[in-house]
Structures are given as structure tokens and as C-alpha cells.
A and B are shown apart, each in its own frame.
Chain A
């Protein structure tokens, strides 16, 4: 069966420090990978999307970047964190197989980032 791992679970970082959040998926090949952010009590904001190694689509211009160095690894980064980067970051995957209907997204358990 497929599993998705995110780490760390929680992170407290000072303003101006770098960030690296990692996500890996097991049990599937060529997944589509996503990064979402969820502000406290709010909905899900899509940040980045990837269909393959080195292929990243950005949804919202901001202080963050994403990379996909391996098929099942997705990394969210920042060179200098802002207070507004605080939030709950979720990685998700879906099958890369194209069918008549989209397949479900499967989320990890997220990273709670607090920028102080």
C-alpha cells in the first residue's frame, strides 16, 4: 500500500532563517505531488504541483520554492522566512495515471511551521 511521510511534524524558526520541509511517498511510481498551505482555521491553498522529477508548477508567487530531486521526493524550501510563512504545510500525492476521472489526493500529516 502507498504511504506518505512528511517531516518534521512541527518546526519553530526565526524570521530570516532558511526552511526545508521534506515529503516522500512509498508504494507508488510517478506520482503527482503537491504542496498546500493551510492557515489557522482556513482552507487549503495550493502552493506547488509536480508531475515529474524537476518539473514544478507554482501557483502563488511568494517566498517559497519547491524541488523534486527524485521521483517520490518533494521538498519545500525558503531562503529567508517571513512571519507570514507561518502555517500548516501539507504534502499530497495522487496517481500519475491519466483516466476519465481524476483520482483522489492523499495527504500527509503536515508540518506545523511557526515563524517567530
Chain B
């Protein structure tokens, strides 16, 4: 069945450094890839998403890249801050389905 693998499961970086989280999907028909940030005790919040018709999207310190050939996509956070500490989930979905296949999450710790 469809699967999304997410790595690493935990990531610690120094404040100001960059963080990269990678996901690989199995369904080649996937064409929409959202990223979520989940803070402790809260629901996941959408932080950025990308469609398969583009290779990269940026929003301030956050960027997502997509490699359709290799079927992987990555979240890049630059100039990390303590408030970036959270669990991040990637997901993949394809048109016409109700399913969003989520990765298993990455716990990011930004050390001050």
C-alpha cells in the first residue's frame, strides 16, 4: 500500500543553524505534499505545502523541495529559533482521494 517514510525521527540543532527533514513516498500518483508542525498538546498546523507542478517553494525561513523522479521531498528550515522546536509531519496525497499518507514525524529540538 501507500507509504511515506520520514527521516530523521529526532533532530537536534543549535539555534541559528539549518534543519532538514526528508520524506520519501511510494505512490507515484501523489501530487500534493503538505508539511505540518505540531506543538505539544496541540493539533498539527499546516506550515507549507507543495504541488507536483513545482520543484521548490519558499516562505520566509521555510522551504520545501520536491524531486518527483526520486519520489522524495524535503523541508528546510533556516536560521532556526527555539520556537521552531516541535514535531514535524510530512504527508502525500493524490487527486480525487480522501487519503493523506503521513510520515511518522520528526521531533526537532533547537538548542539555545
Contacts and interface: CB of A to CB of B under 8 A. Distances in A.
Interface of A: 6, 32, 34, 42-44, 46, 49, 51, 57, 90, 92, 98-110, 112
Given A51-B98, A101-B51, A107 B93 contact: no
Contacts of A103: 32
Contacts, number: 59
A102 B43 contact: no
Nearest to B105: A43
Per DSSP, chain B at the interface is loop
Contact of B99 (A46, A100, A110): A46
Interface string B70-98: 00000000000000000001010111111
B32 A101 contact: yes
Given A43-B89, A51-B98, A112-B41, 16 more contacts: A34-B98, A42-B104, A49-B98, A98-B96, A99-B95, A101-B31, A102-B93, A102-B94, A102-B97, A104-B34, A104-B49, A105-B46, A105-B91, A107-B44, A108-B43, A110-B42
Interface in B55-78: none
Q: How large is the interface on B (under 10, 10 to 19, 20 to 34, 35 or more residues)?
A: 20 to 34
Nearest to B4: A43
Given A44-B102, A104-B34, A109 B46 contact: no
A105 B103 contact: no
B19 to A, nearest CB: 19
B27 to A, nearest CB: 12
